[in-house]
């Protein structure tokens, strides 16, 4: 089939590449000229495990190409995916200017039947707006489909190739048949393509992300409470998670959720509720609790090192909002670093993939180390913000050799309390006993 993907970020590039992998001919369109040039030169512009191999294979096979010309993409594709940003607007709603702007251009440029598939996360009713924007100028038939994306950064290729489910919101039989044909290779093991109306599909995405954000936040509150009453959240988590109604996943407490999706999606659903005179009380709390959770370690840092951190050096392990990505959008690390800098600390950070992105955001206000141990050189404390695999089993002798003071603030509960005690660290984590 002939496909165009408009917007080649985390979602669009993975979508385009994986659709090419099943034999489709895909043209990816992006307005970012330098990004398109890099991709044309064979470079994957984001870090996403396993993407490079299929990216290269499909370019070489002539099934995957890149352009800045929307017209070229539309001339090529029978199915047009929109994988455009829907960032948070000032009032918390999803900003639809990219999606609706491109929709209007599509109306001006198409001259034969196309299926326009919205993969961006958008509020209920957006497919109607997209339809109206295209219809203003379109002189041919077209259909609009809502096809929210559930991939996770860090597992995006696997999630796309083997999805647990695919949600398709559409009212046209013709479009539904095309979508089922396109997705057939991805659901051979029997996972469902769930067909529904556009509005329900749009809401499914927000409901899923908000539920997951709520689950994380609930556990963070249990962890905070554990600290007050002397319980251990890791034990509580295992005790709870073995109940199959609850499940083991998404119960790990930490320094809050971040990323390009949960924060903005929870806020957008909350705002959609307000617009419909519905007060989402749970989501209001989730937003508030998550905001304070991001800096929950800061008072512990102050109580151990003092509030004036001039002449103190703090090492940070992990900058990305989660492991296996270079994405730093809404990353808790940035909030902690801001507080540390305000208190006068000098900060040295290490992250396996996200340092370039932080460098372009923070410049030289912090320093970046070449290795996890180099970041510790002369440090008065280590703060762990992201649970990258390499941080799980460090050489503690090396850690001690490099640090001035043996103090760890662990925002991801990576280490065993008993081991930390016997290694002689002061160790603070989330929802567990402090080792002072």
Single out the residue of 311, 367, 305, 357 nearest to residue 337, CA to CA. 367
CB of 324 to ligand NAD, least distance (A): 12
Q: What is the DSSP letter of 405?
A: S
How far apart are alpha carbons 279 and 272 in whole angstroms?
A: 9
Count residues contacting ligand NAD (CB under 6 A)? 27
CA distances from 419 to 231, 415, 423, 435 (A): 18, 7, 6, 11
Under rule CB under 6 A, residue 85 binds ligand NAD: yes
Cβ atoms of 338 and 347 within 8 Å: the answer is: no
Q: Which of 22, 57, 98, 232 is the binder for ligand NAD (CB under 6 A)?
A: 98
Under rule CB under 6 A, residue 126 binds ligand NAD: no
109 is in an annotated binding site: no
Q: Which of 3, 18, 84, 117 is the binder for ligand NAD (CB under 6 A)?
A: 84
CB of 93 to ligand NAD, least distance (A): 13
Residue number with CB closer to ligand NAD (85 or 241): 85
Residue number with CB closer to ligand NAD (147 or 214): 147
Q: How far is CA 341 from the centre of its chain?
A: 26
230 is in an annotated binding site: no
325 is in an annotated binding site: no
38 is in an annotated binding site: no
CB of 84 to ligand NAD, least distance (A): 5
Q: Which of 80, 182, 261, 305 is the binder for ligand NAD (CB under 6 A)?
A: 261
Under rule CB under 6 A, residue 153 binds ligand NAD: yes
Six-digit token pair at 85?
Answer: 């940003």
Six-digit token pair at 248?
Answer: 């083991």
CB of 72 to ligand NAD, least distance (A): 12
30 is in an annotated binding site: yes
**CB-CB neighbours of 136 under 10 Å:** 10
152 is in an annotated binding site: yes
Under rule CB under 6 A, residue 121 binds ligand NAD: yes
Q: Which of 3, 5, 6, 266 is the binder for ligand NAD (CB under 6 A)?
A: 6
How far apart are alpha carbons 148 and 125 in whole angstroms?
A: 13
Mapped onto helix, strand or coil, the DSSP state of residue 80 is: strand
Under rule CB under 6 A, residue 166 binds ligand NAD: no
Fill in the per-residue mask, 51 to 80: x = in contact with ligand NAD (CB under 6 A), - = not in contact. ------------------------------
Mapped onto helix, strand or coil, the DSSP state of residue 59 is: helix
Cβ atoms of 150 and 163 within 8 Å: the answer is: yes
Please name the residue that has the structure tokens 């001339």. 75
Under rule CB under 6 A, residue 120 binds ligand NAD: yes
412 is in an annotated binding site: no
86 is in an annotated binding site: yes
Single out the residue of 77, 7, 8, 2 nearest to residue 43, CA to CA. 8
Fill in the per-residue mask, 8 to 37: x = in contact with ligand NAD (CB under 6 A), - = not in contact. xxxxx----------------xxxx--x--
Under rule CB under 6 A, residue 104 binds ligand NAD: no
How far apart are alpha carbons 300 and 298 in whole angstroms?
A: 5
How far apart are alpha carbons 3 and 64 in whole angstroms?
A: 10
Single out the residue of 2, 27, 1, 23 nearest to residue 13, CA to CA. 27
How far apart are alpha carbons 284 and 266 in whole angstroms?
A: 9
Residue number with CB closer to ligand NAD (34 or 393): 34
Q: Which of 18, 59, 79, 102 is the binder for ligand NAD (CB under 6 A)?
A: 102
Note the helical H segments in 276-378. Answer: 281-293, 298-305, 332-342, 355-362
Q: How far is CA 48 from the centre of its chain?
A: 12
Fill in the per-residue mask, 176 to 195: x = in contact with ligand NAD (CB under 6 A), - = not in contact. --------------------
Residue number with CB closer to ligand NAD (159 or 339): 159
334 is in an annotated binding site: no
Packed helices 233-241 and 198-229: angle between N→C axes, nearest 10 degrees = 140
Binding site as annotated, residues for NAD(+): 30, 35, 86, 121, 153, 264, 329
Give the residues lining the site for ligand NAD (CB under 6 A). 6-12, 29-32, 35, 83-86, 98, 101-102, 119-121, 149, 151, 153, 260-261
Binding site as annotated, residues for substrate: 150-153, 205, 250-254, 258, 322
């Amino acid at each position: 089939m002939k496909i165009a993907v408009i917007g080649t970020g985390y979602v669009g590039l993975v979508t385009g590449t994986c659709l090419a992998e099943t034999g489709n001919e895909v043209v990816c369109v992006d307005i970012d000229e330098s990004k398109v040039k890099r991709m044309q030169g064979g470079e994957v512009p984001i870090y996403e495990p396993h993407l490079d191999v299929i990216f290269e294979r499909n370019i070489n096979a002539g099934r995957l190409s890149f352009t800045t010309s929307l017209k070229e993409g539309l001339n090529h594709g029978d199915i047009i995916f929109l994988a455009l940003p829907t960032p948070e607007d000032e009032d918390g709603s999803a900003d639809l200017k990219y999606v609706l702007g491109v929709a209007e251009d599509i109306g001006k440029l198409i001259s034969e039947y196309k299926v326009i598939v919205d993969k961006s996360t958008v509020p209920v009713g957006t497919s109607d707006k997209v339809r109206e924007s295209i219809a203003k100028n379109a002189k041919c038939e077209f259909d609009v489909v809502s096809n929210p994306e559930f991939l996770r950064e860090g597992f995006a290729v696997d999630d796309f190739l083997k999805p647990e489910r695919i949600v398709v919101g559409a009212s046209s039989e013709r479009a539904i048949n095309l979508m089922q044909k396109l997705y057939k290779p991805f659901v051979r093991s029997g996972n469902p393509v769930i067909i529904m109306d556009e509005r329900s599909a749009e809401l499914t995405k927000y409901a899923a992300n908000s539920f997951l954000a709520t689950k994380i936040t609930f556990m963070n509150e249990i962890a905070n409470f554990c600290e007050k009453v002397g319980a251990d959240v890791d034990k509580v988590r295992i005790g709870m998670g073995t109940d199959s109604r609850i499940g083991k996943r998404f119960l790990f407490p930490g320094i809050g959720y971040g990323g390009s999706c949960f924060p903005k999606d929870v806020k957008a659903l909350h705002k959609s509720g307000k617009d419909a005179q519905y007060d989402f009380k749970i989501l209001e709390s989730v937003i508030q609790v998550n905001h304070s959770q991001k800096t929950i370690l800061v008072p512990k840092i102050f109580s151990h090192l003092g509030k004036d951190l001039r002449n103190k050096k703090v090492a940070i392990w992990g900058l990305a909002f989660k492991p296996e990505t270079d994405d730093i959008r809404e990353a808790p690390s940035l909030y902690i670093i801001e507080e540390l800098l305000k208190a006068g600390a000098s900060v040295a950070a290490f992250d396996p993939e996200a340092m370039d992105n932080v460098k372009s955001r923070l410049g030289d206000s912090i320093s970046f180390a070449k290795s996890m141990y180099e970041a510790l050189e002369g440090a008065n404390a280590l703060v762990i913000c992201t649970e990258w695999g390499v941080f799980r089993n460090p050489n503690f002798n090396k850690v001690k050799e490099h640090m001035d003071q043996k103090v760890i603030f662990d925002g991801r509960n990576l280490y065993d309390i008993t081991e930390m005690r016997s290694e002689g660290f002061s160790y603070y984590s989330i929802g567990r006993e402090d080792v002072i």
